[in-house]
Amino acid sequence: MTMTKTTRAPGTVPGEAPREAPREVPRKAPRRVPRWPAVVPFFAFMALCFGVPAGTMAYNAFTVIDPDSGASEYSLHNVTTSLSGQYATGLAGSVKLSLLTAVLATALGAVIAQAVVNSRNSALRKAVVSASGVFANFSGAPLAFAFIATLGTTGTVTRLLELQRAGFSLYTFTGLVLAYLYFMVPLMVVTVLPALDGLRGQWREAAASCGATRAQFWRHVGLPVLMPSLLGGAVLMFGTAFASHATAAVMTGSSVPLITIQIANALSGNVLVGQENLALAMSLNMVVIALLVIAVQIPLRRRSERWLG
């Protein structure tokens, strides 16, 4: 049998006694050079550019400064304030908006990307990819103004379709969802396209020749294979929506309570004085939420990756 041949130890010839070990050592030696120094720059960068600001944020969030004497002391005051009253409402509002837009953007983005892949039309693909690249970066105040001009109370589209009579108002939670999807869906399209390309045609043919319907193919093959990418995309979408600020600030002010707007008010406004540490406590809450989302996503992703293995 050829089996013995293929499984023999390297450097041995069948029928010959295995060579002595010492000869192997010099050849293997270079591999034992520690590899961790290669990641030192990365960790140094992370510690400096991520660790230091995060540490400062956490430290100051737990510090209260007396406005008159300037004396500071450790206290939970900022954190408890940031989790009560209007700040709790703002945090909940942000989470709700981000979850909803993340789910919608993930679903819509994946469907659009799949349509592009299925079309096998390279011109269409190029057009969609470049347009998505542009639209994914069209956000903030310019986007808000574009929406105001088209869908605001006196917007062109609003008047054309008489949307006001249908009870539509851009300056609501729904309006914000629309505006957010405008840049999130294209972002999802560019994110998920490569993964969809990885879905091979042969798999579908194989499934079909085993008698699977289209729905069965997606249920048992397509979606499980894509799940890690989709989950990753969903987390990215959540993060994008969660951190967005300017669009909402211009469009709805604080009539839709969002944590990012409250942080901006406390940190860099023209009204609230001496609330910087409260803003940092709110930022800390955001970091915790983001970590929670990632923590939930990791086991889910691991499960679907194991399924793939």
Partner 1 sequence: MGAVTAAVTLSVAATGCGAAPAEGAGSKAGKATSAADFGGMDKLVKAAKKEGELNVYALAPTWANYGEMIRAFEKKYGIEVNNEDPGGSSQGALNAAAKRKGQDRAVDALDLGTAFMQAAKSKKLLAPYKVKGWKDIPAAQKQPDGSFMNNYGGYISIGCDAKDVKECPESFKDLLDPKYKGKVALNGNPNESSSAFSAVIAASLANGGGFDDVKPGLDFFKKLKKNGNYVPVESTKATIQKGETPISIDWDYLNLGYGEELKSKGVDWKVSVPEDGQYSQFYNQGVNKYAPHPAAARLWVEFLYSPEGQNIWLKGFSRPALLEEMEKDGSADKKAAAKLPEVSGTPKFPSAAQEAKAQKAISEGWGAAVS
Task: Write down the least CB distance from residue 278 to partner 1, Å.
Answer: 10
Torsion 39-41-47-49 (CA) sign: negative
How many other CB atoms sit within 10 Å of the CB of residue 257? 20
Binding mask 224-263 for partner 1 (x = CB under 8 A): -------------------------xxxxxxxxx---xx-
The residues with which 74 forms a beta bridge, in sequence order, are 63
Q: Which is nearer to partner 1, 169 or 216 (CB)?
A: 169
Task: Spell out, one character per residue from 267 to 306, where the chain touches partner 1: x when CB under 8 A holds, - when not.
Answer: xxxxxxxx-x------------------------------
Among 86, 119, 121, 174, binds partner 1 (CB under 8 A): 86
Complex with partner 1: residue 62 or 145, whichever CB lies closer: 145
Task: Tell me which of 77, 99, 168, 171 binds partner 1, using CB under 8 A.
Answer: 171
Give the chain's end-to-end CA distance (angstroms, integer).
30
Q: Tokens 């929670």, residue?
A: 292
Q: What sign has the CA pseudo-torsion 96, 99, 103, 106? A: positive
**264 lies in the binding site for partner 1 (CB under 8 A):** yes
What count of residues does the chain have?
309
CA–CA separation, 181 vs 101, rounded Å? Answer: 6
72 is a site residue for partner 1 (CB under 8 A): no
DSSP state of 47: I
Q: Does 176 bind partner 1 (CB under 8 A)?
A: no
Question: Is residue 93 within 8 Å of residue 262, measured between CB atoms?
Answer: no
Query: Binding residues for partner 1, per CB under 8 A?
Result: 48-50, 52-54, 67-68, 70, 85-86, 89-90, 145, 148-149, 152-155, 164, 171, 249-257, 261-262, 264-265, 267-274, 276
